[in-house]
Chains A and B, each alone.
Chain A
Amino acid sequence: MKREQVPQDDDRLMEGRTRDLCYAVDENGEYVQVLSTGWEPKNAALMQAWEEIGEQAKAIYSQVQAGQVSPIAFFMAQCMFDIKLLSDYTGLPKRKVKAHLEPEQFRRLDAETLKSYAEAFNITVEDLVNCTNTADPFSEEK
């Protein structure tokens, strides 16, 4: 890759927080470091992953609305947790985490347990209880 070929395809995926460092050759054939705001193929691959996550989460969201599962199930999909990982983060046994996927059980959770779930998902307790999707990195744009 030549220096002038280093792509600058900014899809705001790095949110202006940083740029990617790439290696490319300059006009004398010497390797130099060049910053890039993004590259279309890799942006597409990352967006594809998020769209897939979004689709799965959306399907579960309607189940939450229908009262079939608790918001924990929704945030597990949106934040890519399985039962084991969520149990590791919260320190709750797996069977309890499973039980809390039931809306009935979820409603009876104490403040401390709710807090540990919210912390694992990196959201507020309020958003967890109301199933407000603040965990989607693209939600503010919608």
Chain B
Amino acid sequence: MIVDFKHRQAAHCENGVTSNIFRYYGVDLSEAMAFGIGSGLFFIYMPFLKYNGIPVSSFRPLPGMIFKRATRLLGIRIYRKAFRDKTASMKALDEALDRHIPVGLQVGVFHLAYFPRPYRFHFNAHNLVVLGRENGRYVISDPVMESLESLSYDELLRVRWARGLFQPKGKMYYPVKIPGKIDLASAIVKGIRKNCREMLSIPIPFLGVRGIRYLARDIRRWPAKLGDKKAALHLGQFIRMQEEIGTGGAGFRFIYAAFLQEASKILNKPRLQELSENMTDCGDRWREFAVMAARIIKNRSGEGESYEAMSAMLLEIADREQAIFKELRKAVT
């Protein structure tokens, strides 16, 4: 028995699951809306926190935050549970499916059988929705895949019990209470305000706009400090965070611009449309940054393409994003 669940592909798994599950319960929310209300745009650069010897960077908050913020602002109550026992986690899933509830799961991608192999790293904060069972297999709506997928009991158990950073421990979740009327306008305004605070006002130099400036200062020292090869590996990792992990392009900047455009119509504030266009320009700058970085990685950098030049690009991007969020703050007060 499979529930009548519309699988819509998304750029990113967490927004995609949020948006697809909400839509199933009659709350029509686009991926961009889920992202914006969840204050999804961010920047993190942690030079001292290393993963495989490479500094951690991110264009979004910690996994789970976007979903948590979006559900709270929309007044949706979520049942969520992690487990200690593998069999119990599968039994609980089966019971929910028997009640025709589409169930959100956190999984690791290393053992995820239908995932393209070059993308199977030890990343454990992937999200998908199980719709039901058919011919002894679980039917899966994975937001980053174009069509529905399926997994056997053993395959699903294995990805729910992936190990390492952010290990899911069989975590499952689904909405239990949806309010009769949702105040979208107020959720949008609160989501934007929170995002302004995140980008502008956290007094830690590694986060938000200050984080971009920190990276700008650091990046120009990479070749001398690390040597060409290691510096190129740092760069490659950063570009992967920006483009690869389902960001919709330019480290979520385009999704956020899409959100601002939608918000402009809902709130009837033309200023947000202008800021959406500024954010699109900013995303284009991030893409140019990636183009230059890739040429350095491949040793094909031309005239004017260097770590120094990339540092200048980052400073310019930081200025742009700071200006956008300052204006956004004014636009929603």
Which residues of A are in contact with B by a Cβ distance under 8 Å?
1, 13-15, 17-25, 29-31, 33, 35, 39-42, 44-46, 48-50, 52, 79-81, 85, 88-89, 119, 122, 137-138
Contacts and interface: CB of A to CB of B under 8 A. Distances in A.
Interface stretch (B118-126, B172-180, B318-326): B118-126
Interface stretch (B62-70, B195-203, B218-226, B230-238): B230-238
B250 A1 contact: yes
A106 B200 CA distance: 55
Contacts of A39: 243
Given A21-B248, A41-B291, A45-B297, A1 B254 contact: yes
A66 to B, nearest CB: 26
A94 B291 CA distance: 42
Given A15-B118, A50-B118, 6 more contacts: A13-B119, A18-B144, A22-B11, A22-B248, A45-B237, A122-B111
Interface of B: 9-11, 32, 52, 110-111, 114-122, 144-146, 158, 163-164, 167, 232-233, 235-237, 239-240, 243-244, 246, 248-250, 254-255, 257-258, 261-262, 276-277, 280, 283-284, 287, 290-291, 293-294, 297-298
Contact of A45 (B239, B255, B287): B239
30 contacts: A1-B249, A13-B119, A14-B116, A15-B118, A17-B145, A20-B11, A20-B246, A23-B248, A23-B257, A23-B258, A24-B249, A25-B280, A31-B32, A31-B257, A31-B261, A41-B239, A42-B244, A44-B239, A44-B297, A44-B298, A45-B236, A45-B239, A45-B294, A49-B233, A49-B237, A80-B121, A80-B122, A88-B164, A122-B110, A137-B120
Given A18-B144, A44-B294, A137-B120, A23 B255 contact: yes
A23 B254 contact: yes
Q: Which of A14, A33, A45, A80 has the most CB of B within 10 A?
A: A45
B92 to A, nearest CB: 22
A53 B32 CA distance: 35
Contacts of B232: 48
Nearest to B241: A45
A85 B254 CA distance: 35
B85 to A, nearest CB: 14
B146 A49 contact: no
Contacts of A80: 52, 121-122
B178 to A, nearest CB: 25
A45 B116 contact: no
Given A25-B280, A46-B118, A80-B122, A18 B254 contact: no
A41 B239 CA distance: 8
A38 to B, nearest CB: 10
A136 B291 CA distance: 27
Contacts of A81: 122
A56 to B, nearest CB: 11
Complex A-B, nearest 10 residue pairs according to Cβ-Cβ distance, in ascending order: A41-B294, A137-B117, A88-B163, A31-B258, A23-B254, A42-B243, A45-B239, A48-B236, A45-B236, A44-B294
